């Protein structure tokens, strides 16, 4: 158990819909990262937050957005969903912001868009 929790575990929805994925980092971790893992793809970095502020952006679509709240939990919002958005979405957390720190991953949310 990494200490990072993600809800829900599974999500099935239809094209065009909007969903929100939630992540609670490990106690004491200020950085939260979101990754997408599609079929046959590695982990694609989406976005990072540090202590409530956006820190780095990766291959995140404009239809996707995220935020980190004062209690440090984070939400990833996916809108106008397309079939290709079906993937595993992982959240990770670390103590500080630089990439030399080990990231602890949650169990992921499996999103299926029908």
DSSP string, 16-65: T--EEEEEEPPTT--EEEEEEE-TT--PEEEEEEETTEEEEE-S--TTEE
- The residue from 20, 43, 52, 61 that contacts other proteins (CB under 8 A) is 43
Among 15, 77, 99, 112, binds other proteins (CB under 8 A): 99
Q: How far is the CB of 95 from other proteins (least distance, A)?
A: 13
- For other proteins, which is the closer residue by CB, 73 or 79? 73
Per CB under 8 A, 84 contacts other proteins: no
């Amino acid at each position: 158990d990494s200490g990072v929790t993600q809800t829900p575990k599974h999500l099935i929805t239809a094209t065009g819909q909007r969903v929100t994925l939630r992540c609670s980092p490990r106690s004491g971790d200020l950085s939260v990262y979101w990754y997408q893992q599609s079929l046959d793809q590695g982990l694609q970095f989406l976005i990072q937050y540090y202590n409530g502020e956006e820190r780095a952006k990766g291959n995140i679509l404009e239809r996707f957005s995220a935020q980190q709240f004062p209690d440090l939990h984070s939400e990833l919002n996916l809108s106008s969903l397309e079939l290709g958005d079906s993937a595993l979405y992982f959240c990770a957390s670390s103590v500080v912001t630089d990439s030399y720190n080990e990231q602890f991953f949650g169990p992921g949310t499996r999103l299926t868009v029908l």
